[in-house]
Structure 1
């Protein structure tokens, strides 16, 4: 895959639509990239279709996951703040069932006595026990990516894996993502 379409890139970014940006995203079917191709849910609450995979052994993906883990405290702090200016607060984790593994988005997330819990916001493809909209417990070290949107400043934060894929496969689309969604992949 040498060129990712802008629709695919935007779809890979978004797990749920913020009302202020819904019209700009209407042409895209929201999808999150995943190892066994788990897909994110759309604003309608329905899981979206599979579009692209994450190769956790690829150097650019490993680097993205390392950056996400190193900065995961940011999204956990945002989630705990309860500030209404933040939307789409979520984390991507690698979930295992026996020998099967899949990357899934959890959104929203909250702190518990034993760590954190989030609602599965992706449609599992290979996992059988965990399903869309189920609760899943995780620890900060399980986070491989994260995101949130700031609706006041119209910026998107995180999305390290998507940015890594954009910068490797379609760097010409990065300025469009920054302009339309406030996601700066040049960091």
Structure 2
């Protein structure tokens, strides 16, 4: 069975173009989400995945209607493959029910992996270069050295709880525990 999926980003947008294309492609049923592609969970997409069965083919008008990123798209198509469900994108003419379509998808997935690897490589090289220039990454600490000394003194006094210390300095309990640990104070749950 051909099952269609369409998505528009806002309630003001109209899904008619996509639905018309899905009908013309022979879809027996279709699901439409009115949600940003950035949302991990989309109600109609989730419902459709529950109802898909081996031998079905998921059809979309365009790849970006299904996945919010290349990585997400690859994960979804791999999930379909494991379910025994084919995939067709009408605009990109991708069809994983054929050997050629599977090849196109695998090339697409390989290019995405290559891009992720390049980004990781450039990021690591940039971090190394920054460290060599004496720069330290990460967010600046919310606490000064004097704050950390005061935190350790308050903690060791056992007159206030870690939660009270965190509230006083407007930080999380985890930040307080890291400050205590950095000062070499043995921790007990407080």
Q: Give TM class, smaller chain.
A: under 0.3
- Output the TM-score relative to the length of structure 1: 0.23
The structure number with the bigger radius of gyration is: 2
- Output the TM-score relative to the length of structure 2: 0.23
More strand by share: 1
Greater RCO, CA 8 A, separation 6+:
1
More helix by share: 2
